[in-house]
């Protein structure tokens, strides 16, 4: 794992500065390549072939092509063998060199051959053409600036900001952020700085003209029917995916929670190795310690079950408070998630033992682990039942979502913050139309009314996973030079899961209108396919989620910080953006438990800290 940097002119000091800004991503080596038209930089975290032969930027033997690469190609040995049969010779054992010659042989079509995670730039020194690409699921980040005759790219925005560029606040992104709590690609919170969307590549020619192409997507292929065959395929692909991601010349561990996904990964690893390192994090004792440490305690039990070498870390509110600013700095973009600093502290402790970890990201989105999928599927059925709304009200359940049409309206009813809350504090440039317009244009030009739950999952894979979940996983692990791999997001498994009927994924254990936590059952087919790795105490627990005591922290140790950042005097550049009196009232009502406002308060706090770090210069 590494960082990649570059721009379309020659300036040694500047490319060195970009490398310096992203050195945490690749602490083992650093390099620069310069031509009259391009400057390329690289920082290396050595995972495959630890020798100097893996130094980047790497040139082809004929000097025609130069690559700076971040990621892992898990099937690179098979591709290497194919290239050797075509006459290519290799000086290293790295996957980077395989990618370089695969591009030389097949051009952009090489992307179809790769099984892995990556962000890459390849320069043709003869044509002066640059090729930029990002992996299918967006596991590795890639940003670029494009205005006038300047084109700049990097793994992180902070390196792009080393340039003297026009990068003011993007007010459309601001409106999206406070409603979704993150900004989906291609936008960022800066004007003129963009995220390259997952499964896309860009070509920049010597005249500076840019073309962007999508090279992979889920195609709504026909659903599979044979349940036993599906289970067999899921099991075979998951085993193969985990085995591929154990490829490393440095030790590999796994982030172990109390959930199904990381338990399955741990079980497969334990089957293949006598020594598995697992890592978990919990919170120091509070009056409600059991609630917040449920995953922590189950993970301990699972580690004993699989006889792993288990590493536990316990943190306090002070640990989070002391590292909050550093978290936001490493995230680059404001993403409001109170678990981010916990992620970073877990990664920081883990890197003392291993340099590669496997995580369970993607299992919920692929196999229906979230309540929102069950509720949406239930709504699809209930809308066909006369009197369903009355029945729900009789059971004391909200029926508001029953009135939503499939598409933008339904999606926002699950994901978007309540409009009256956002409008109560966001004043200048507040525009409630930005988000629905963006969602409509990006994801819902056509609506699958027959199976909107499937389209809902598609949208989460393209947006939520890439721009919130994976962005958080990448930035928080790479802040400490730790590589995180995600077996569930092998594109073959993603394609298979998309063809599994939602009825095989989602179910109810009891009353139709009962408590979801007690009666909703997700990931049914995954549970059945991988039952050999799932102890009863994991199978029988309700969907829990990974909580932190953040709402309590805001009432106690975080209160002074909150009062400071929710003040008009805190940050000059945001004085006219918010109604600070309304925000202070929201804080006081949360502290007194009159209302619960964690999302609102955390999103504003995150934005204020971010703005002061990146914009208020």
Q: Running DSSP on this structure, what letter comes out for residue 282?
A: E
417 CB neighbour count, 10 Å cutoff: 17
Which of 152, 143, 164, 154 has its CA nearest to residue 26? 154
Cα–Cα distance, 347 to 358 (Å, whole number)? 12
Helices (H) and strands (E) in the chain, counts: 28, 19
Q: Which residues pair with 43 in a beta bridge?
A: 3, 30
Radius of gyration for the alpha carbons in the chain, expressed in angstroms and rounded:
24
Cα torsion angle, 495, 188, 474, 16, sign: positive
Q: What's phi and psi for 123, nearest 5 deg?
A: -100, 130
Contact 396, 514 (CB under 8 A): no
Q: Which residues pair with 7 in a beta bridge?
A: 39, 152
Which of 531, 373, 426, 343 has its CA nearest to residue 174? 426
Q: Running DSSP on this structure, what letter comes out for residue 33?
A: E
In the set 1, 2, 254, 461, the catalytic residue is 2
Cα–Cα distance, 81 to 178 (Å, whole number)? 49
DSSP string, 96-128: HHHHHHHHHHHGGGGGGG--EEEEEEEEETTTT
Contact residues for 600 (Cβ-Cβ < 8 A; gap 6+): 417, 421, 425, 586
Cα distances from 344 to residues 341, 371, 463, 484, in angstroms, run 5, 26, 22, 12
CA atoms within 13 A on the CB side of 158: 23
Q: Give the sheet arrangement for strand 65-73, strand by strand.
A: 58-59, 65-73, 116-124, 129-134, 200-204, 210-214
Looking at 273-316, list the stretches that DSSP marks H as alpha helix, in order from N- to C-terminal side.
289-292, 294-306
Q: Which residues pair with 121 in a beta bridge?
A: 68, 132
Q: Give the sheet arrangement for strand 143-147, strand by strand.
A: 29-34, 39-44, 2-7, 150-154, 143-147, 193-195
Cα–Cα distance, 247 to 16 (Å, whole number)? 31
398 CB neighbour count, 10 Å cutoff: 8
**2 part of the active site:** yes
Question: Active-site positions?
Answer: 2
């Amino acid at each position: 794992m590494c960082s990649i940097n570059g721009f379309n002119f020659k300036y040694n000091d500047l490319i060195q500065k970009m490398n310096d800004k992203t050195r945490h991503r690749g602490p083992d080596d650093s390099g620069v390549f310069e031509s009259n038209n391009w400057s390329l930089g690289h920082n290396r975290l050595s995972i495959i072939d630890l020798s100097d032969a893996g130094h980047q930027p790497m040139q082809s033997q004929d000097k025609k092509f130069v690559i700076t690469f971040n990621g892992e190609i898990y099937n690179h040995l098979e591709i290497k063998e194919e290239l050797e049969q075509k006459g290519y010779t290799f000086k290293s054992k790295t996957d980077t060199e395989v990618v370089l010659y695969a591009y030389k042989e097949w051009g952009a079509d090489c992307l179809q051959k790769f099984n892995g995670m990556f962000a890459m730039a390849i320069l043709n020194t003869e044509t002066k053409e640059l090729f930029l690409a990002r992996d299918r699921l967006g596991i590795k980040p890639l940003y670029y600036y494009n205005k006038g005759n300047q084109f700049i790219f990097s793994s992180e925005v902070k390196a792009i900001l080393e340039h003297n560029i026009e990068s003011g606040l993007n007010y459309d992104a601001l409106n999206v952020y406070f409603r979704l709590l993150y900004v989906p690609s291609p936008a960022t919170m800066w004007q003129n700085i963009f995220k390259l969307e997952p499964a896309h590549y860009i070509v920049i020619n010597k005249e500076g003209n840019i073309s962007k192409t999508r090279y992979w997507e889920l195609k709504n292929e026909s659903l599979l029917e044979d349940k036993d065959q599906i289970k067999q395929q899921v099991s075979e692909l998951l085993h193969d995916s985990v085995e591929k991601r154990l490829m490393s010349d440095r030790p590999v561990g796994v982030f172990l929670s109390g959930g199904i996904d990381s338990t399955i990964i741990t079980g497969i690893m334990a089957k293949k190795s006598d020594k598995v390192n697992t890592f978990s994090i919990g919170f120091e004792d509070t009056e409600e310690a059991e609630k917040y440490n449920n995953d922590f305690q189950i993970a301990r039990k699972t580690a004993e079950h699989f006889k792993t070498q288990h590493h536990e870390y316990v943190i306090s509110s002070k640990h989070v408070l002391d590292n909050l600013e550093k978290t936001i700095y490493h995230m680059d973009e404001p993403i409001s998630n109170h678990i981010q600093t916990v992620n970073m502290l877990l990664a920081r402790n883990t890197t003392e033992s291993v340099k590669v970890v496997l995580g369970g990201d993607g299992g919920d989105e692929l196999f229906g682990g979230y309540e929102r999928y069950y509720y949406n599927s239930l709504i699809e059925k209930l809308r066909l039942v006369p009197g369903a709304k009355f029945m729900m009200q009789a059971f004391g359940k909200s029926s508001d979502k029953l009135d939503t049409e499939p598409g933008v309206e339904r999606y926002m009813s699950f994901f978007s913050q309540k409009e009256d809350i956002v409008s109560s504090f966001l004043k200048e440039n507040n525009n409630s139309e930005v988000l629905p317009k963006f969602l409509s244009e990006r994801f819902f030009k056509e609506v699958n009314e027959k199976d909107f739950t499937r389209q809902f999952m598609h949208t989460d894979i393209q947006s939520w996973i890439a721009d919130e979940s994976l962005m958080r996983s990448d930035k928080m692990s790479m802040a400490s030079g730790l590589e995180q791999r995600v077996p569930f997001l092998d594109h073959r498994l993603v394609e298979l899961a998309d063809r599994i009927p939602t009825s095989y994924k989602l179910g109810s254990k009891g009353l139709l209108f009962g408590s979801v936590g007690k009666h909703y059952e997700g990931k049914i087919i995954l549970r059945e396919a991988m039952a050999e790795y799932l102890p009863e105490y994991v199978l029988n627990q309700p969907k829990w989620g990974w909580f932190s005591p953040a709402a309590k922290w805001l009432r106690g140790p975080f209160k002074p910080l909150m009062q400071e950042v929710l003040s008009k005097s805190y940050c000059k550049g945001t004085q006219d953006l918010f109604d600070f009196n309304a925000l202070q009232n929201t804080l006081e009502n949360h502290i007194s438990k009159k209302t619960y406002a964690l999302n609102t308060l955390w999103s504003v706090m995150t934005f204020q800290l971010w703005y002061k770090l990146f914009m208020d210069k």
